[in-house]
Structure 1
Amino acid sequence: MKPSGMALALYTNFLGQSPNWYKLTIIAFMFLNPLVFIQNPYVAGWLLVIEFIFTLAMALKCYPLLPGGLLAIQAIAMGMTSTEKVMHEVSINIEVILLLVFMVAGIHFVKDLLLFVFTKLLIRVRSKTMISLAFVLMSAFLSAFLDALTVIAVIIGVGVGFYAIYHKISSGKTFVDPHDHTVDHEVVELSRADLDAFRGFLRNLLMHAGVGTALGGVSTMVGEPQNLIIAAAVGWDFAEFALRMSAISIPILICGMLTTVVVEKFGWFDFGVRLPVAVQDVLIAYDNYQTSRMQAADITKLWTQGVIAVLLILCLSLHIASVGLIGLMVIILATTFCGVTDEHAIGHAFKEALPFTALLVVFFAVVAVIIDQHLFTPVIHWVLTFDGQLQLAVLFMANGVLSMVSDNVFVGTVYISEVKAAWEAGRISREQFEMLAIAINAGTNLPSVATPNGQAAFLFLLTSALAPLIRLSYMKMVWMALPYTIVLAVVGLLSTVFLLPEVTHYFYSVGWIHHYVPGAAH
């Protein structure tokens, strides 16, 4: 092959099916970075951070692990950080990595129970407002103890299953007939209006569920990966983290549910679409069909998974062990007592979490660059020029804005590292450090619902097989999330500034939480 042909093939293979403009942009970054680094390492460091955020924002064009990983490798090669520093960041955040590896895989083996619960909920509750509230509450509760991606994956599975069933029946077929639900040419003309309404109904429920994962995810140390990083930095266990976050998580949950009721009642922002009667009849008939086919082994599996789910919640609440080890326990118990003995079947459970785990290690490489090049030091110094409640407000907003366009794990990791360094240097008190940690946690979890980039669960939904079937686009998600974005950002900010200090002081006064004593067991 001629050299020109090989060069063309190399360019074609580079980042695969990504658009040409995206490929050229990444190549330009790779050429630009060394030139800027020679002139000014600090500016080069910020340029790298901006480029990395760009890869996160363009996640739909190419999974960020590829271009972000290239940027991280180049940064290490140029001397912006070292592999030792990256390993240090990985080692101090090993609990987060184990959470992603084992907990997500563990929940995979109790999916049958979650699918069963959501299925019954979908067909038994007739009021659209009540079923919307139920999806918000269940998603919030599950996300407080489990992984948001897994919760959304379960709901997507339910949505795809029911969409496929009605699509098949509306095409004139029976439950057992083969059918392709991705094309509409076989759908009977009289059923098309019901099918469009069903799509709108599923869009509503999926967006409510996505917001529910944010409402629950903010409240506990296992709700989102960055929560675990923040809890480890401050030294809180599961119960103390949940108690301290209650000043924000409880008002947020209440206002989030009120928002659900309002948008459903008034039909704002494309909500309020009801399930057509014809569709509900089909779904009930299918559920009866499936229930009649259940055997004793299937029912036993559901009860077993229920017991394991309760055990999981108890272990997390009592902080029996590290979150990752509890996830491994779930894997062992669920596979043992549900009869999953094949290595490939077990390995399949790990596929969902490992790409994001690899991306998280790349995050830590970028964090290492930020620390070594002191990139966020001026920003933190600026935040620390404020005092008291104003300092909390500024940090909440700084985290919130960046989390809308970037990944909240990345943002939370960077800010908690810098704020902890400020506390260790004696620039802020321990009590203020703890409240700033809560502000960071709230800032990364709540305003980030504005875009799919900010919430991993939203991005997972957007890139799922269900999104094109129900006509759920990027801008549709932004529009439908807008009322929640406004409410969560405003209520979160007000709770952080005014309610958090008062509630924290009250908890100290009654002895529910204790002042930090250096060198003492915490």
Structure 2
Amino acid sequence: MQQSFLDATYRNFLGQAPKWYKLTIIGFLILNPILFFLISPYIAGWALVLEFIFTLAMALKCYPLQPGGLLAIQAVAIGMTSSKTVLHELTVNYEVLLLLIFMVAGIYFMKNLLLFLFTKIITKVQSKIVVSLLFCFSSAFLSAFLDALTVIAVIISVAVGFYSVYHKVASGAPSHGSHDHTSDHELPDYSREDLQDFRAYLRNLLMHAGVGTALGGVMTIVGEPQNLIIGQQAGWEFAEFAIRMSPVTIPVIFCGLLTCFLVEKFKVFSYGVALPDNVRKILVDFDAEETKNRTMADKAKLVAQGAIAIWLIVGLAMHLAAVGLIGLTVIILATSFTGVIEEHQIGHAFEEALPFTALLAVFFAVVAVIVDQQLFTPVISWVLTFEGNMQLVMFYLANGVLSMVSDNVFVGTVYITEVKKALLEGQITRDQFDMLAVAINTGTNLPSVATPNGQAAFLFLLTSAIAPLIRLSYGRMVYMAIPYTVVLTLVGLITIYSGMLVEYTDMFYDMGLIHHHAISDGGGSSSH
């Protein structure tokens, strides 16, 4: 009886994760107390950080919240950090939690508008190159003001919708009946080639859109969660954050769009697949039917969502309230004017955001261990021995390499926390801190497009329902990301190494667009 109970407990532990993964996590939990009490708290702390990065890298085997959370709970239990320090880290970064909870949920209620826009792009524009550029640019623009996860979720919804429509028609299924679009058994042979090309076409668009979320996400304080953490530590609001990043982000977005054009033009790295004529006709007919059936109430909802989108952009640009609170106003306005008034309808909006919010809380628990055990102090001290632009380059590269294999939110949080600590201890000046904050932000956002591990939007795409339908595997994503990874990383590196960042920042000071900040624990208050 006891054996069967233990066996059942083991089977329940981390659910469907592979056996080797379960044993690895159990090994970590056994190893950590031994290292902490018998060898060295410092070594135990580094072991915990590497173990946590492992859980992030293996996110496809098991969502990192559970294994990472177990490691964090154990760290508090054995004394690597305290619950008080964890709470302090959470309190300092409460605006980030509000962003994830309310902004992502708010955009959920604007999906109809976004679906409408992306549908029109696919059905109305003939040129594949233009469609690709529109998807990349639209994703970048939306991700600068919205959450990248929500933007990619909307585009996935468009892709799944179109895929299922074509699959149903090609299979000869009745238009109003149920149909399994995951099975190709009913497809006639002459439709299979079109389906393969359509899958490749959707892979192209989804990868361009994914990169677009990175291009736009790096530009503003709300583009990615780590941006808000970095901006908050620096005391920058929306406009100042965008201006300070612009010497790097403006060249990057132009080069990113140029890369999109070139890979489509020359059909390299699996890009350049056109939409088959048969598929286009089916999708255009479907969109025409949807347009014909759109009621006046549906049109009123789209207009209301458009007005709310304008309020969102204005509210963020003028910093009328904390980002999360603006997200809350979006929820209230969008639900009020689209007829969503029941509690269970509103509840669905929070399903996407809350798992990642919980994971972010675990991030901060690991950051608390790093702070209490002073794990990064020697690394930061070594990097700070470099001077001038080389110091910025080293931070950019260190963040970039780590963000390729780990989560960029975690990497950005760790580095900005340590650099802020160096500022408060007088190791660096406020101007140095501001430059390093730019290097950290761009380092975590640009090279991280290399793998799905680094970008939450990429990981979300890889684990979504569309990935198996269009045969988008981990290896294929990495391969298709290569041209973007090389270009974005090098352009960011060149702008930082060349001194353009320092030169333009000095010019912004002279023009009065940004201001010097006083040193403070809360991220710095302006001193004009």
State the shift of 1:427 in Å: 1.4
Separation (CA, whole Å) in 1 of partners of 2:490 and 2:219: 17
Separation (CA, whole Å) in 2 of partners of 1:508 and 1:521: 13
State the shift of 1:514 in Å: 1.9
State the shift of 1:174 in Å: 4.0
Separation (CA, whole Å) in 1 of partners of 2:95 and 2:275: 42
Partner of 1:142: 142
Partner of 1:407: 407
Gaps in structure 2 of 5+ consecutive residues: none
Given that 1:175 and 1:286 are in contact with CA atoms closer than 8 Å, whether structure 2 keeps it comes out as no
Query: Secondary structure at the residue paired with 1:482?
Result: helix
Partner of 1:84: 84
Partner of 2:506: 505
Gaps in structure 1 of 5+ consecutive residues: none
Given that 2:214 and 2:449 are in contact with CA atoms closer than 8 Å, whether structure 1 keeps it comes out as yes
Partner of 1:231: 231
State the shift of 1:173 in Å: 2.6
Worse overlay, 170-179 or 449-458: 170-179
Given that 1:138 and 1:212 are in contact with CA atoms closer than 8 Å, whether structure 2 keeps it comes out as yes
Separation (CA, whole Å) in 1 of partners of 2:299 and 2:515: 46
Query: Which residues of 2 match residues 87-98 of structure 1 at below 5 A?
Result: 87-98=87-98
Given that 2:517 and 2:526 are in contact with CA atoms closer than 8 Å, whether structure 1 keeps it comes out as no
State the shift of 1:460 in Å: 0.2
Partner of 2:56: 56
Deviations 1:392-448 (A, max 9, x none): 000000000000011111110110011111111111111111010000000000000
Amino acid at match of 1:7: L
Partner of 1:133: 133
Amino acid at match of 2:492: G
Amino acid at match of 2:226: Q
Separation (CA, whole Å) in 2 of partners of 1:373 and 1:294: 60
Partner of 1:75: 75
Separation (CA, whole Å) in 2 of partners of 1:338 and 1:97: 26
Query: Secondary structure at the residue paired with 2:337?
Result: helix
Given that 2:96 and 2:225 are in contact with CA atoms closer than 8 Å, whether structure 1 keeps it comes out as yes
Separation (CA, whole Å) in 2 of partners of 1:174 and 1:455: 40
Partner of 1:18: 17
Aligned pair 1:358/2:358, yes or no?
A: yes
Separation (CA, whole Å) in 2 of partners of 1:497 and 1:218: 18
Given that 1:227 and 1:441 are in contact with CA atoms closer than 8 Å, whether structure 2 keeps it comes out as yes
Separation (CA, whole Å) in 2 of partners of 1:104 and 1:400: 26
Separation (CA, whole Å) in 1 of partners of 2:10 and 2:509: 61
TM-score by length of 2: 0.98
Query: Secondary structure at the residue paired with 1:270?
Result: coil
Separation (CA, whole Å) in 1 of partners of 2:526 and 2:249: 27
Partner of 1:423: 423
Partner of 1:488: 488
Aligned-residue CA RMSD (Å): 0.9
Amino acid at match of 1:503: Y
Deviations 1:426-482 (A, max 9, x none): 111111110100000000000000000000000000000000000000000000001
Partner of 1:390: 390
* Matched positions, count: 521
State the shift of 1:310 in Å: 0.5
Given that 1:115 and 1:155 are in contact with CA atoms closer than 8 Å, whether structure 2 keeps it comes out as yes
Query: Secondary structure at the residue paired with 2:269?
Result: helix
TM-score by length of 1: 0.99
Residues 91, 517 of structure 1: alpha-carbon distance in 2 compared, 3 angstrom cutoff: closer
Query: Which residues of 2 match residues 300-315 of structure 1 at below 5 A?
Result: 300-315=300-315
Deviations 1:25-58 (A, max 9, x none): 0000011111111110000000000000000000
Given that 1:416 and 1:440 are in contact with CA atoms closer than 8 Å, whether structure 2 keeps it comes out as yes
Separation (CA, whole Å) in 2 of partners of 1:521 and 1:437: 16
Separation (CA, whole Å) in 1 of partners of 2:260 and 2:516: 38
Separation (CA, whole Å) in 2 of partners of 1:176 and 1:432: 63
Separation (CA, whole Å) in 1 of partners of 2:243 and 2:140: 16
State the shift of 1:177 in Å: 2.6
Separation (CA, whole Å) in 1 of partners of 2:364 and 2:518: 29
